Structure 1
């Protein structure tokens, strides 16, 4: 019976040639470099911070056309807009995130024997919350008091 799959030794030899072929390349052939330094490349791409190139001038003009001065209505509306999210004593007192109701469950544990040596435990009553964690409502989700 003849094997139709590739011989393991042949596969090993091919993979070894691929690995060794990758190690034979030099740094200069993979990453060639010229005479320019990083500072030269930076100055060439960013115009050295001078802002004198045509592309940077067009970008600055486009930004200036999008800017507009504040009108008197914008100035008068500004304190009201900021007060919606600015912290103050009044906002700190007012709770934005109300707690959702988490009713207490009262459970009676009957007298029983506990442990490896049966020890009698008298009956008792315990209280625990229905939900494991305290849940909070999003602002405006619940408005009634609990």
Structure 2
């Protein structure tokens, strides 16, 4: 019993020493009061602002990832976009089909219920397998179910 009491005392003394050590730092040492603004600090840390070396390197990296559109890409774009555009024709057809959610049938055996044991006859009940209705993306599921 005495060993546990001394262990708790040692942990408490260590926590107190750490708490007092954290309060020993002055605000002036942590937060300097010079003439730099947040914009100056940002520019220094991010490589010198909009015209700096870091911004130039970022633009060069983006340019290397870009590729021009080919004639095939330009011709295919309207058809690809039309699949997702709502029109009077496709409004009557579902784009996002429901995924199947099978029903589970469970049989509850006869039992006694309540504070005054009342007999409850056995019965069957039906509930869906999944809690929410899930939908497929356009073209993801095409077969009927």
User: Which bin holds the TM-score, normalised by the shorter protein?
Assistant: 0.5 to 0.7
Equivalent positions of 1:1-146 (< 5 A) are 3-7=2-6, 11-29=11-29, 31-33=30-32, 35=34, 36-44=36-44, 45-49=46-50, 51=51, 53-96=52-95, 97-98=97-98, 130-131=126-127, 138=136, 140=141, 142-143=143-144
Report the structure number with the largest CA radius of gyration. 1
Between 1:81-90 and 1:134-143, the stretch displaced more is 134-143
Deviation, structure 1 residue 79: 0.8
Say how many residue pairs are matched.
Answer: 117
Using structure 1 for the length normalisation, give the TM-score.
0.55
Query: 5+ unaligned residues in a row in structure 2: which ranges?
Result: 104-124
Please give the TM-score of this superposition, normalised by the length of structure 2. 0.55
Q: Distance in 1 between matches of 2:16 and 2:78?
A: 72
Task: Determine the structure 2 residue equivalent to 1:120.
Answer: none
The ranges of structure 1 where at least 4 consecutive aligned residues each deviate by more than 6 angstroms after the TM superposition are none
Shift of 1:59: 2.7
